[in-house]
Amino acid sequence: MDNNQNQNKNNKNDKKAWLLVLISTLITGYLLFSLFSMAGKASKKEISYDEFLTMVDDGRVEEVIIGSDKLTIIPKSNTSGNEWQQLFPGMKITYYTGVVKDDTLTERLYEEDVKFSSEIPDTVTALIMNIVFTLVLPFVLIFVFMSFMMKKMSKGGGIMGIGKSNAKMYVEKETGVTFKDVAGQDEAKESLQEVVDFLHNPKKYTEVGAKLPKGALLVGPPGTGKTLLAKAVAGEAKVPFFSVSGSEFVEMYVGVGASRVRDLFKQAQTMAPCIIFIDEIDAIGKSRDNALGSNDEREQTLNQILSEMDGFSTDKGLLLLAATNRPEVLDPALLRPGRFDRRIIVDKPDLKGRIDTLKVHSKDVRMDETVDLEAIALATSGAVGSDLANMINEAAITAVKHGRRVVSQSDLFEAVEVVLVGKEKKDRIMNAEERRIVSYHEVGHALVSALQKDAEPVQKITIVPRTMGALGYVMQTPEEEKFLNTKSELDAMLVGLLAGRAAEEIVFDTVTTGASNDIERATSLARAMVTQYGMSERFGLMGLESVQHKYLDGRAVMNCGEATASEIDQEVMKMLKASYEEAKRLLSENRKALDEIAAFLIEKETITGKEFMEIFHKINGNADVPKEDLEALPEAEFEEE
């Protein structure tokens, strides 16, 4: 019933809009027609018959058209005009006078060399064509042009709809997504399932005195499934679901965004219970306390959202969902209880979450018995749902490329490498000297990792260049997923990152540009140990940096003065220097292993962690390789040159 009423109302509005366009067209056409009619009348001037004869005698007449009731006189071009001729430079002034019985007129015109002819009356066809081209056609063209322009201005679809909401409405069958299709976000699903249950069974909550939350804010890094969760809510709730992006509210015209917000909430209230989902709400919800200036259109839109959220009652079952990866920039008024009552964190999945996510995305992919999704999940620490979906798809493409009808574990390993470091660059051929340098560099990383008890085991070493810029890399895999790192583990990471440069200096007595990525990562880690983790003897537990945009780039901002910042640089430099010296010491003491493994790598280009450990233990006089060192797992981290 409500849908029919809304449809009838929209039809009435469209009819009014068309009527407005028609009236505007008629008025514009009438004004133009009147203007040209006045100009046409002004181009014809009545004179007396004796004035006409004087013009003929003076040689100022070019042509005379003799009609049944008047004479039309066309003067020569040098004849002066009037103000209308000045307004329209291309206009030619003509004169007319009444017909007088004068038998000498023809002879006088002939003597003065004036062209003269008799006017032929217009036929009916000529009259109709004249009316069509002078009256009907201009009105039609003006009407079509105005209709086209008003449709272009109306992004909402419909005449005069510039202030209408662009929200798309979905129902359960159209989204095709339920909570079964979302994995790795159990806590987020639990919070949203309560909301869905409230919409289905409001009575059991209201009997206790509970109220439906007005809004829920989904917060997390890009690719974790915030929009997918919102679609799953629509699929589970089986209620109308309005979906709109925050950027669609902001236009160049001030007031349009606020108008669209009003229209959106008005539509939603007529169809309650329902859900409104605003994706990327930070586009309109930024804090109004901005020292760099303000945006009137965005602030008006935000104020209208705040007003609408205060204005509707949860008794109708209206829920506002929003998603963002920049919660720190949102206005405090938007985040307070009574507006967005719940903040649902949609973070990067843990090991179990990654396994479940891989199962969801691989349910329609043919796989053989070698596939171990747990190993892939362990290897992809820090990956989000979109990364894992991409890896499964890349593995399927790789299997087809190699002529297989099922996906194997090797395809998944290769897909992980493609997503993280790019495809192999088979056309890039390094010379013999560069191959030696890259080999020693990568073996330096791997050997130091094997020599330190707190380092992660090596899975693979390769010197095959990749499309993302790496000339080689070392694949390392954690034995188990960890959420904390000890200081000894971080120290081991620093030594391992700088071991590639140390190997270059020991073997070639020089250094190359290949360690730039290692130095950048080592510097960032050492600075975090000093400023954020309190692992510096000099500064102790003092917090010297804070992280901004934690769900995006995680950039750190200094919270100290210039003098302290200079001391931080000295402390970081000291830590890096100590780690570099430790890497050089370890490699110098195991120079034989370094040389033999590097020679083997140059020959093979790619070696597994098992092969690496066999050579390492053989050189160290221990041929019995521990089982845990030989059970290779896929990658979690890369040491690149």
Closest by CA position to 392, among listed 410, 374, 372, 416: 416
Alpha carbon distances (Å) from 197 to 233, 237, 243, 524: 10, 8, 20, 46
Which helix (H) or strand (E) element contains residue 130? Answer: helix 124-131
- Residue 609 CA to residue 298 CA, distance in Å, equals 55
- Residue 485 CA to residue 632 CA, distance in Å, equals 22
CA angle 275, 210, 194 (to 5 degrees): 50
Alpha carbon distances (Å) from 357 to 132, 387, 391: 69, 10, 11
Task: Locate 535 and state its tokens.
Answer: 């692992």
- Residue 105 CA to residue 206 CA, distance in Å, equals 105
Catalytic residue among 442, 504, 635, 637: 442
DSSP 123: P
Look-up of token digits 């205060």: 310
Half-sphere exposure of 498 (CA within 13 A, CB side): 24
Q: Is 489 assigned a catalytic role?
A: no
Residues with Cβ within 8 Å of residue 316, at least 6 apart in sequence: 269, 272, 273
- Residue 489 CA to residue 36 CA, distance in Å, equals 88
End-to-end CA distance of the chain: 67
Three-state SS string over 546-589 comes to: EECCCCCCCCEEECCCHHHHHHHHHHHHHHHHHHHHHHHHHHHH
Alpha carbon distances (Å) from 516 to 458, 464, 484, 520: 21, 18, 27, 6
Q: Which residues are catalytic?
A: 442
